[in-house]
Amino acid sequence: MDLWQLSGLKIGKLIRDREITSVEVTQAFIHQIQKVNPDLNAMVKTRFEEALQEAEQADALLQKGKAPNSPYFGVPTSIKESFALKGMPNSGGLVARKNYYPKEDAVTVKRYRNAGLIPLGVTNVSELCMWMESDNKVYGRSNNPYDLSRTVGGSSGGEGAIVSAGGAPVGLGSDIGGSIRMPAFFNGIFGHKPTGGLVPSTGQFPTAENEALRMICTGPLVRFAEDLFPLLKILAGPDGVDPYCIDLDLQKKEVDYSTLTVVNIEDNGVTPVSAELRKSQQEVVYALKQLGARVIQAKPKALKHSFEIWSSFLNSATETSFATLMGNGKPINPVVELFRYFIGPSHHTLPAIVLSAIEVFPKLLPKRIQQMKQLGFELRQELEELMGENGIILFPSHSQVAPKHNQPVQRLSFDWVYTAIINAMEFPATQVPLGLNQEGLPLGVQVIGIRKNDALTIAVAEKLEEIFGGWVPPKKYFTNSNSREVVFT
């Protein structure tokens, strides 16, 4: 049975219809992880024995007719290591926390498990989840399934890689500056960053503080778009702990493309976008126009200040310094850590050390922070007026396809602001794969909506999957992948 080419929803139906058992499904995905993970280093701690026991329990309940009515009952999943999962490490890529094992699940992990999803293990992150390479001194670096010499993105990079390589039907990630969408883009899959506050952040390490809790978002990473909405419904809703969580009655949306407004923004006016990504985005514009959509070309001037707007929203809400997080409660000295990094040994990565060194500078300019926040509010209003209730924005997921390892830090890259600015806006955004380039690397685009319009961006993503084909299997891990006949063996 070709489990790799089935969505989580379809696998769940097979299990409920008793055409396959949860144990058989779980064994198949465990085998695939064992096959791909030596190359990828994406899943950093497994719970295979426990997962098989939970699958046996699921099958027993189904046999007795006592299984809950959940479309994902008995379906395996992967979980980002920054989420608390009982019995699994929850270091956030920080050496000082490498032996920390939570006693209970994060709220979103609990919601996945209550829906019948079975965690297979936890996946790699960047140190403290604040860089676009999933690399740290606890687990090392993860590699891209399309090209092992390239990044998987961060900080949900392990999730992006293991889901793309067929190690799990669906996954769970978080996103404060693109940490779902960049890995989804680089690894050729779908990822959804929800409306700010739609999904609670309780039980993550690290997490945001105060108003920035609306900037950090938890959402699904999947190979097939039809999994996005039902998983979002499982995750969404207040938990009584996260004070910024909103209550929204999510309903599936049918799109009338003759009334859809498509706002096409080709770049942010600062960081150039590669010709191949511009071409892909233009092909999406053309496809939606052919369906009857009204297309508007836009170049909001405030997007030139994307980094300052994002960092001003984050810094003004943050009380605990990044240096304090790095020291697990006691601030590190960035100069000392930089010396240790080059002389050795250091427990920290270079991007984390640099961030701890420069984080103080924005706070020295409080007036500038307020100016940038105000500009951010104005940008949000401008974009909302452009989209309207039945509109989307098409915007690059990044400036280029997945870079080579270390290239982002060598270039001092700020390209990730293409995703980060959307966190500051609190808009929902769905990363949509658009096939592969001539080098066999994934292309993609962000589909963005006004706040609380998650159902629209996901519905458009489903249509674009229908038109452009969605996820393309990494050839290295799927024999005869173009034939659509491969099975897990």
Catalytic residues: 80, 155, 179
The 3 state secondary structure assigned to the chain is CCHHHCCHHHHHHHHHCCCCCHHHHHHHHHHHHHHHHHHHCCEEEECHHHHHHHHHHHHHHHHHCCCCCCCCCCCEEEEECCECCCCCCCCCCCHHHCCCCCCCCCHHHHHHHHCCCEEEEEECCCHHHCCCCCEECCCEECCECCECCECCCCCCHHHHHHHHCCCCCEEEEEECCCCCHHHHHHCCCEEEECCCCCCCCCCECCCCCHHHHHCCEEEEEECCHHHHHHHHHHHCCCCCCCCCCCCCCCCCCCCCHHHCEEEECCCCCCCCCCHHHHHHHHHHHHHHHHCCCEEEECCCHHHHHHHHHHHHHHHHHCCCCHHHHHCCCCCCCHHHHHHHHHHCCCCCCHHHHHHHHHCHHHHCCHHHHHHHHHHHHHHHHHHHHHHCCCEEEEECCCCCCCCECCHHHHCCCCCCHHHHHHHHHCCCEEEEEEEECCCCCEEEEEEECCCCCHHHHHHHHHHHHHHHCCCCCCHHHCCCHHHCCCCCC
